[in-house]
Structure 1
Amino acid sequence: MNKNMSIIGVPMDLGQSRRGVDMGPSAIRYAGLLEKLEGLDYNVDDLGDVPISRPDSRHERQDGDLRNLKQVADASLKLAEMVDQEVSDKRFPLVLGGDHSIAIGSLAGISKHYENLGVIWYDAHGDLNSAETSPSGNIHGMPLAVSLGIGHERLTNIHGYSPKIKPENIVIIGARSLDPGEKKLIKERGIQVYSMHEVDRMGMTNVISEAIEYLKERTDGVHLSLDLDGLDPDEAPGVGTPVIGGLSYRESHLAMEILQESAILTSAEFVEVNPILDEKNKTATLAVGLIGSLFGEKLK
């Protein structure tokens, strides 16, 4: 894996309605991220945080019933430009959220460098909604759909092109909360999904190994988008949309270790850490532990 790494924080909570997740990048840094990566011999450049503008009204909805559309679109473009530059400079971009709407910008900046970018979406949710299917209007439930070219053009056209990814190049792992419109889209587009049912029956070793082999055959780079609510809330309590019955701490470490051994990842992001809802920064510390495993930390 590329030893030259750039960290970009995106302190944004505008893709949803609960405050606090904008402090996620700070919490992850405070939990020892830089020390962890430098201890693993990475050349790390922390670029700080993307500047985020705030709306006049917290619950304002604009253009098709989407909450904070303008601000999310503006932040996504800024992030896309930063990530684009780091990939051009042959550095591994590690993005820290913020809510999961930040993936719109991440993928917009990364995907232009690949013919067939693969995506591992490690999440309790599919994030495949649009204004027509979303019950909330929260953009953090839409980034995967947006990246497929589905949704408001202000979001789908971030960084001047659409779509960013192809449905056959996506693998969702850990899903256990899908809206009806998302289930329909998954079937129509043939998106590969390993729900908690498959994880329980097959085991994480088989799930992540299958996902790697599936993506190896069809992609020229792979982005990991890991939402901490993919883990069970008993282990990761500091998330905005917890769903019981999730992935365990050990399963997730194993997945990261196998991903590291595969050497297929070209970028990554860790999102939805909310310190206000957390217990003594437990979730941010867990995130740093997973990042350690992803980048080569071993017990022996």
Structure 2
Amino acid sequence: MVLAKSLRNHNTSRKLVALIGPHVAEPTRQVLHKLYDEVVLVDVLDSGDTAHLALMKRPELGVTFTKLHCWTLTQYSKCVFMDADTLVLANIDELFEREELSAAPDPGWPDCFNSGVFVFRPSNDVYGKLLTHCEEKGSFDGGDQGVLNSYFSNWATEDISKHLPFIYNLSSIAIYSYLPAFKQYGRDAKVVHFLGKVKPWNYTYDAKNKSVKGQSQDPSTLHPNYLLQWWELFSTSVLPLLKEEYGSEPFHSGCETGEEAHDTASKVDAPQAPPPPQISSQERKQKWEQGQADYMGMDSFENIERKLDSFLK
């Protein structure tokens, strides 16, 4: 929602499309419809989806298959994909002058591109080839970035025009690791990318004092202005839309208004889909075998990792 508002505020002339999963609650979908020209439901567990068969062989790539659906938006000739944890700081319509696959280098390994922002041409043919690539080779990093870098393997060496300047995908990791360069070039940033486990919406914002709490947990604290920009946009332009849809139903914004920021700072609880029904171990096993693991819930990577850690300890 904040990403959409930031694009609109900087007068993009392009249509905006949101890809969402089936877990997104209906009131939240209504807000997205107000902000985006199209809201497309992506359900890789739907047996009518070609990604469903790929999941049978590579169940660990469920979230990756969701992202690859952007290539099915064939009603458009060219698109710029942007992760939900990005924020636009200036108009970026000039990215449409680039060709597939244009992206900025990743701060962790510059011969790889970061898949948080990239230019592509929707194509069912490419979509099918990407799924086949996933089935046969998987992902070297367990996610979409590994798949895409493996598929578009000539990005690093073939055409420099497909290397986006870093200002189109400025990450908090880069600010932390090369502060002098950020001081030199950071003022020209057009897109900031909140990489890492802690996202802007995991913080708490005090609207009265215009401050973000909990910044010490994340490298982006070296330049908290981006976090403040994110939260100010959320509190002024997105929160009112959420309140319209949710009404008196409680939801968690992580935001404290001036009236709420008292000694026992009241906070509202998060918009969440209802908890999934409990299933037996046998049912869960069958779902795994059918490629229908609950990637966003009990079968998430974090839960599996936690279980493994408990055994190893």
Normalised by the length of structure 2, the TM-score is 0.36
Structure with max Cα Rg: 2
Structure with more strand by fraction: 1
Q: TM-score, normalised by structure 1?
A: 0.37
Q: Which has the higher contact order (CA 8 A, sep 6+)?
A: 1
